[in-house]
Amino acid sequence: MRIILIGFGVVGQNFAKLLLSRNDDLYALYGMKPRIVAVVDSKGSVISTSAINLQKLLNIKKTKGTVAKYENGGKKNAEDIIESVDAEVVVELGPTNLKTGEPGMSNIIAAIKDGKNVITTNKGPLALALPSLIELADYNNVTLRFSGTVGGGTPILEFAKRCLKGDRIKSFRGILNGTTNYILTKMDDGLTFNEALVDAKKNGYVEADPTLDIDGYDAAAKLVIMANWIMNMKVTMNDVNFTGIRNVSVEDIKSAIKKDNIIKLIASSDKELTVKPTEVPKNNPLCVNGTLNAVTFSSEYSGHQTIIGRGAGGMETASAVLRDLIEIREVMSRR
C-alpha cells in the first residue's frame, strides 16, 4: 500500500514512527506493507519511486528542519504530488483552517478526484464541507476516513458508528476539547481563568493563539463532524450556536460547586447543535478532569453509553491514522 503523506509535523512524524515499530505485525495481522512514497512539509517535499527510508527521513527532519533535505528532495507542492505520484492513499495532516479549509480542502479534493483514498486529521475541510466531501468520495469510489479529528486516539466516531449500529442514536453530548477541560479543571481547583490559561500554556496544552480552543471553535468543528457522520445531518459551522469559556468567572465556578456541580464546555447534538459552558453534576460520567474527552450517546434501546479517553497527543492521533489505514486496506480487499 503506497502512501502520500501531506504534513510532517508532530502527528506525521509519530505516524512514521508507528509504521516503523509495527511493520512486522501489520503484515502478520492485516497482510499490509505500508510504503510512504512521498512526503510534503511546509518547506519542501521528497518523492521515492519505491519507498522512503522513514528512519533516515525522521533524522533529517530533526537535524535539518525539512524533508526537502532528503536525497532528491525539492519544492514540489502537495497538489502536484497528489496528481503525479502513484499511490493508493493520501494522508492529509495539514494545519486546521476553519475559515476556508485550505490548503487541506484542495488537497483532499485533488486526491479524491484522482481516485485516491484519503485519511485526514484536519478538521477545517470537514467542518465546512463534510457532506459534499463524502458525496465526492462515494462518486469516485474511494474511501474518506477521519477518526483522528475527534477524540485523538479515542475511537469516539467508531464507537458510535459501529458499536451502536444496531441501535438508533437520538442525541449525544460531551467534552470535545481537552484544552478547555484542563483550564476548567484548574479553575475548579481555585485558579482564575487567566491563571489557568497560563498554566495550560506552560504545560503545552495551548497553542500560541488559544482562540480556537477557548472560544469554542474547535469543539464546534468536532461537533459538526460528529453530527454529520453519526446523525446523518447536513450541517456546517454556521449551524452551531457556540460560546467558549473566556467569560467563565471564579464566581461561576464557586456557584456551581455549592450545588455539587462542575462547569464543563459541553458540545451537544439534540434538537439543535450547541457548545457552551454548562453545569454538570459531579457524579455525571462527563465529569472527567484534565485533558480527557468524554461523550455520552443516548440511544433508543440501549440507553446512555459514555466513552472516555485522551483527546489529543501526537502518538494518540497517529494511532487513529493507522486505524483508518487498516480500515481502508480492508475496504480495498473487498472491492
pLDDT the model gives residue 333 = 86
pTM greater than the 0.95 cutoff: no
Give residue 166's pLDDT band: very low, low, confident or very high (50, 70, 90): confident
Whether the pLDDT of residue 162 is over 90: the answer is no
Give the list of residues 6+ apart from residue 96 with CB closer than 8 angstroms, or none.
104, 122, 123, 124, 212, 218, 221
Whether the pLDDT of residue 130 is over 90: the answer is yes
In tens, the pLDDT along 187-224 reads 999 999 999 999 999 988 887 789 999 999 999 999 99
In tens, the pLDDT along 76-109 reads 999 999 999 999 999 999 999 999 999 999 999 9
pLDDT the model gives residue 273 = 97
Whether the pLDDT of residue 278 is over 90: the answer is yes
CATH, domain 156-310, list 3.30.360.10, 3.90.1150.170, 3.90.1260.10, 3.40.50.150: 3.30.360.10
Summarize the confidence of residues 270-277 as an average pLDDT: 95
**Is 2-153+314-334's fold the same as 156-310's?**
no
pLDDT the model gives residue 203 = 87
Summarize the confidence of residues 289-305 as an average pLDDT: 94
Question: What region does 303 belong to: left with phi over 0, alpha with psi -120 to 50, or beta?
Answer: left
CA angle, residues 7, 13, 17, in degrees to nearest 5: 140
Summarize the confidence of residues 155-170 as an average pLDDT: 90
In tens, the pLDDT along 15-34 reads 999 999 998 999 999 989 99
Rg (CA), the chain: 20
Which residues does residue 264 pair with via DSSP β-bridges, in sequence order?
278
Distance CA 311, CA 149 (A): 9
Give residue 49's pLDDT band: very low, low, confident or very high (50, 70, 90): confident
Summarize the confidence of residues 265-289 as an average pLDDT: 96
pLDDT the model gives residue 152 = 84
Distance CA 279, CA 29 (A): 45
CB 151 within 8 A of CB 317: no
Of the spans 231-235, 307-311, 320-324, which averages the highest pLDDT? Answer: 320-324
Whether the pLDDT of residue 283 is over 90: the answer is yes
Q: Give CATH for domain 2-153+314-334.
A: 3.40.50.720
- Count of positions (residues) in the chain: 335
Q: Which grid coordinates are listed for 116?
A: 485516491
pLDDT the model gives residue 207 = 76
The domains of the chain are located at 2-153+314-334, 156-310
pLDDT the model gives residue 312 = 75
pLDDT the model gives residue 163 = 85
Q: What string of H, E and C letters represents the secondary structure of the chain?
A: CEEEEECCCHHHHHHHHHHHHCHHHHHHHHCCCCEEEEEEECCEEEECCCCCCHHHHHHHHHHHCCHHHCCCCECCCHHHHHHHCCCCEEEECCCCCCCCCCCHHHHHHHHHHCCCEEEECCHHHHHHHHHHHHHHHHHCCCCEECHHHCCCCCCHHHHHHHHCCCCCEEEEEEECCHHHHHHHHHHHCCCCHHHHHHHHHHCCCCCCCCHHHHCCHHHHHHHHHHHHHHHCCCCCHHHEEECCCCCCCHHHHHHHHHCCEEEEEEEEECCCEEEEEEEEECCCCCCCCCCEEEEEEEECCCEEEEEEEECCCHHHHHHHHHHHHHHHHHHHHHC
Whether the pLDDT of residue 253 is over 90: the answer is yes
Catalytic residue among 61, 116, 186, 222: 222
pLDDT the model gives residue 205 = 87
Give residue 113's pLDDT band: very low, low, confident or very high (50, 70, 90): very high
Can 222 be counted among the known catalytic residues? yes
Share above pLDDT 70 across residues of the chain, in percent, rounded to a whole number: 100
Phi and psi of 97, rounded to 5°? -125, 105
